[in-house]
């Protein structure tokens, strides 16, 4: 599987989980929205208004109309924003008032009269509705204030001429209903003004539900039997509620309807939870994709390392095997019998080299899967001296000048056996690769963090590549296998240092090269 396919599958899985989580939030928020609907649109509020009306002596239908309009105005509800329609009729089924766009005003000065009402429903043309909608959208959610009302009074009734709104940024806009002359003007300075725009946006999905509720109220009026009964059905997942109230000489009907999915999706609580869910899933997705990508790269590198390891191991073993095969054929075919001793010696040397490769492989394999090692307090000074002593004769045979600069009593918590192997590999490489005067120096000293161990050797070549710490990589790739190098020493050291959390490095100096490790 490619990396792209893996990441794509992860994204698909995360998306499915996100969708399932959204469904759970949807159903949970649906219950909340439904409860809000039942609480806000229950008959409790209507009963309160209607009871006050029924008990009053004046039977002020204008005030009841206003209270029912604004008491069930979806603008004032929390998450409940359904379409609604209502109407009040008398015993002759004459409509006293109904849900519609209208304006109420009460003069504040003495002798100004009571509450007045004028319907603007018939003047709300599509063009005027669109004009008001654009103005409200420019207000960016701020409530628009009712500033002024202009009407024409013909001696019997008021006819609306215009009304002005303020977006609370000194942007006052006048909307005209008719071109009749103005006989009365009321401002918010001397009059309490109220306006309500019913089913303003005819392009919204709510418009469909407003039309449905209006049709149902009309049907209720046509089919009603006038009495003082009260009853109806409340909300359910279908998003409908129907109610009627008997009020002596009057009957009151109202219908509420909404789209359950749309109301839930547009509710504040759903959008809030969805936002936090999205943020959470986005963070988790990024972390998962990053981790998966990192693990994939690590796995890919591991597979490549295994293939490179097998290829390199086969190559390293092929050379001594070819030499052994060639020398044995010379002996078997009787070619230069006088050189049989040399042939046997060559076979023996190659067998030793193969044994060294196998032992290094076994050591590397033994420690490669370790994540920690047993440590104890060791005298590093003593370990270094013992390793240097072991290489005296080898240094002499290679014409190298091996010296030491070792401080006494350098103690550290480590695995003495593995550290001895690491020092052994450093010394072996330094002696084999020393050039020029072939000076080799092993240095151990204390520092502020613990200790530092270095092996220096004269070297007039280029700085070895960083990949020399990988398996079967030699510092000098130009040299042949005659130096009996296995290419496994530094990879073994790297693993040992990592198990001890030691820092390790190599660097070129003026006349040579230094390999080191330290706490």
DSSP calls for 241-257: EEEEEEETTEEEEEEEE
Residues 472 and 502 in one domain: yes
Give start and end residues of each alpha helix (H) in 41-172: 43-55, 61-71, 126-138
Say yes or no to pLDDT of 517 above 80: yes
Binning pLDDT at 50, 70 and 90, where does residue 239 land?
low
Binning pLDDT at 50, 70 and 90, where does residue 431 land?
very high
Q: Is residue 313 part of a domain?
A: yes
Nearest CA among 517, 512, 430, 503 for reference residue 463 = 512
Nearest CA among 506, 494, 486 for reference residue 469 = 494
As to burial, measured by CB atoms within 10 angstroms (0-12 exposed, 13-18 middle, 19+ buried), residue 184 is middle
End position of a domain, from candidates 256, 285, 315: 256
List, for residues 323-381, the tens digit of each pLDDT value: 888 889 888 888 888 888 888 888 888 888 788 778 777 777 777 777 788 899 999 99
pTM score: 0.51
Say yes or no to pLDDT of 460 above 80: yes
Residues 244 and 99 in one domain: yes
Say yes or no to pLDDT of 202 above 90: no
Q: Is residue 349 part of a domain?
A: yes
Strongest mean pLDDT among 55-64, 174-183, 245-254, 389-398 = 174-183
List the structure tokens of 419. Answer: 């550290």
What's the pLDDT at 236? 53
List the structure tokens of 143. Answer: 């409530």
What's the pLDDT at 27? 86
Question: Mean pLDDT, to the nearest integer, of 98-126?
Answer: 87
What's the pLDDT at 22? 92
Question: Residue 211: which H helix or E strand, with range?
Answer: helix 206-223
Residues 408 and 319 in one domain: no
Q: Is residue 86 part of a domain?
A: yes
Question: Mean pLDDT, to the nearest integer, of 163-179?
Answer: 91
Residues 158 and 200 in one domain: yes
Question: Residue 407: which H helix or E strand, with range?
Answer: none
Residues 96 and 190 in one domain: yes
Question: Mean pLDDT, to the nearest integer, of 83-101?
Answer: 90
Per cent of the chain over pLDDT 70 is 86
Binning pLDDT at 50, 70 and 90, where does residue 72 land?
low
Q: Which of 44-58, 281-295, 360-374, 489-503 has the lowest mean pLDDT?
A: 44-58
In the block, residue with structure tokens 């008001």: 132
Q: How far apart are CA 166 and CA 147, in angstroms?
A: 6
> Cα 434 from chain centroid?
55
End position of a domain, from candidates 341, 368, 395: 368
Say yes or no to pLDDT of 404 above 60: yes
Question: Residue 197: which H helix or E strand, with range?
Answer: none
Q: Is residue 8 part of a domain?
A: no
DSSP for 139-192, please give it: TTTPPPEEEEEEEEE-SS-EEEEEEEEE-SSS-EEEEES--PPP-EEEETTTEE
Partner residues linked to 186 by β-bridges: 149
> Cα 30 from chain centroid?
25
**Residue 466: half-sphere exposure toward Cβ, Cα within 13 Å:** 1
Q: Is residue 130 part of a domain?
A: yes
- Domain carrying residue 364: 305-368
Q: How far apart are CA 459 and CA 34, in angstroms?
A: 84
Partner residues linked to 254 by β-bridges: 86, 243
Binning pLDDT at 50, 70 and 90, where does residue 302 land?
confident
Residues 106 and 122 in one domain: yes
CB of 26 closer than 8 Å to CB of 264:
yes
CB of 64 closer than 8 Å to CB of 117:
no
What's the pLDDT at 77? 38
Residues 234 and 98 in one domain: yes
Count of domains forming the chain: 3
End position of a domain, from candidates 348, 368, 388: 368
**Backbone CA torsion sign across 317, 323, 327, 330:** positive
Q: Name the more confident of 386 and 239.
A: 386
What's the pLDDT at 42? 57
DSSP state of 198: S
What's the pLDDT at 443? 96
Q: Name the more confident of 409 and 246.
A: 409
Binning pLDDT at 50, 70 and 90, where does residue 177 land?
very high
CATH number, domain of 512, equals 3.30.565.10
Across 78-106, b (16+ Cβ under 10 Å) vs e yields ebbbbbbbbbbbeeeeeebbbbbbbbbbb
Residues 311 and 165 in one domain: no
Q: How far apart are CA 418 and CA 423, in angstroms?
A: 9
Q: Is residue 195 part of a domain?
A: yes
Question: Residue 516: which H helix or E strand, with range?
Answer: strand 512-518
Residues 225 and 343 in one domain: no
CATH number, domain of 346, equals 1.10.287.130
Q: How far apart are CA 427 and CA 421, in angstroms?
A: 10
Binning pLDDT at 50, 70 and 90, where does residue 235 land?
low
Helix (H, G, I), strand (E, B) or coil at 414: strand
**Backbone CA torsion sign across 456, 462, 468, 474:** negative
Say yes or no to pLDDT of 17 above 90: yes
Mean pLDDT of the chain: 83
What's the pLDDT at 482? 46
Q: Is residue 76 part of a domain?
A: no
Q: Name the more confident of 64 and 112.
A: 64
What's the pLDDT at 355? 83
Say yes or no to pLDDT of 76 above 50: no
What's the pLDDT at 200? 87
Residues 98 and 177 in one domain: yes
What's the pLDDT at 75? 39
CA angle 122, 127, 130 (to 5 degrees): 105
List, for residues 140-154, the tens digit of each pLDDT value: 767 788 999 999 998
Q: Which of 144-153, 177-186, 208-217, 361-370 has the lowest mean pLDDT?
A: 361-370
What's the pLDDT at 467? 65
In the block, residue with structure tokens 């050189």: 339
Binning pLDDT at 50, 70 and 90, where does residue 320 land?
confident
Q: Name the more confident of 274 and 300.
A: 274
Residues 132 and 250 in one domain: yes
Per cent of the chain over pLDDT 90 is 37
Q: How far apart are CA 293 and CA 299, in angstroms?
A: 10
Q: Name the more confident of 35 and 209.
A: 209
Give start and end residues of each alpha helix (H) in 334-436: 340-368, 380-390, 392-397, 416-433
Residues 240 and 309 in one domain: no
What's the pLDDT at 354? 82
CA separation (Å) from 274 to 23, 24, 89? 10, 11, 45
Q: Is residue 198 part of a domain?
A: yes
């Amino acid at each position: 599987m490619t990396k792209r396919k893996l990441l794509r599958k992860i994204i698909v899985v995360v998306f499915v989980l996100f969708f399932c989580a959204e469904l759970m939030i949807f159903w949970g928020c649906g219950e909340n929205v439904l409860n809000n609907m039942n609480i806000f649109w229950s008959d409790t509020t209507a009963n309160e208004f209607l009871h006050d009306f029924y008990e009053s002596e004046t039977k002020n239908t204008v005030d009841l109309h206003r209270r029912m309009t604004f008491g069930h105005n979806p603008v004032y509800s929390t998450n409940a924003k359904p379409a609604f329609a209502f109407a009040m009729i008398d015993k002759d089924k004459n409509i006293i008032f109904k849900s519609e766009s209208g304006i109420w005003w009460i003069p504040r000065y003495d002798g100004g009269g009571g509450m007045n009402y004028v319907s603007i429903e018939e003047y709300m043309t599509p063009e005027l509705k669109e004009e008001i909608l654009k103005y409200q959208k420019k207000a960016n959610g701020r409530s628009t204030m009712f500033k002024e009302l202009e009407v024409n009074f013909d001696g019997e009734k008021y006819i609306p001429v215009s009304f002005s709104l303020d977006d609370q940024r000194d942007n006052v806009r006048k909307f005209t209903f008719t071109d009749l002359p103005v006989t009365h003007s009321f401002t918010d300075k001397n009059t309490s003004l109220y306006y309500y725009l019913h089913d303003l946006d005819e392009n919204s999905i709510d418009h469909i539900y407003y039309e449905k509720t209006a049709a149902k109220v009309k049907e209720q009026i046509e089919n009603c039997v006038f009495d003082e009964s009260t009853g109806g059905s409340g909300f359910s997942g279908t998003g409908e509620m129907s109610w009627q109230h008997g009020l002596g000489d009057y009957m009151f009907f109202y219908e509420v309807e909404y789209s359950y999915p749309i109301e839930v999706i547009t509710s504040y609580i759903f959008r809030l939870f969805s936002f936090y869910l999205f943020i959470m899933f986005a963070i988790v997705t990024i972390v998962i994709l990053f981790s998966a990508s990192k693990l994939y790269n690590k796995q890919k590198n591991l597979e490549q390392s295994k293939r490179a390891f097998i290829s390199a191991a086969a190559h390293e073993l092929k050379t001594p095997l070819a030499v052994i095969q060639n020398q044995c054929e010379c002996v078997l075919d009787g070619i230069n019998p006088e050189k049989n001793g040399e042939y046997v010696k060559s076979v023996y040397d190659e067998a030793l080299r193969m044994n060294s490769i196998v032992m290094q492989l076994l050591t590397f394999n033994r420690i490669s899967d370790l994540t920690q090692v047993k440590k104890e307090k060791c005298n590093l000074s003593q370990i270094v001296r013992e390793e240097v002593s072991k290489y005296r004769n080898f240094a002499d045979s290679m014409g190298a000048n091996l010296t030491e600069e070792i401080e006494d009593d350098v103690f550290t918590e480590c695995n003495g056996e593995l550290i001895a192997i690491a020092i052994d590999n450093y010394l072996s490489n330094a002696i084999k690769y020393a050039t020029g005067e072939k000076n080799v120096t092993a240095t151990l000293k204390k520092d502020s963090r613990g200790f530092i161990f270095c092996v220096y050797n004269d070297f007039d070549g280029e700085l070895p590549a960083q990949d020399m710490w990988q398996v079967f990589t030699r510092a000098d790739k130009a040299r042949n296998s005659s130096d009996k190098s296995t290419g496994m020493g530094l990879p073994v050291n790297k693993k040992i240092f990592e198990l001890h959390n030691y820092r390790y490095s190599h660097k070129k100096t003026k006349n040579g090269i230094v390999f080191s490790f330290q706490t």
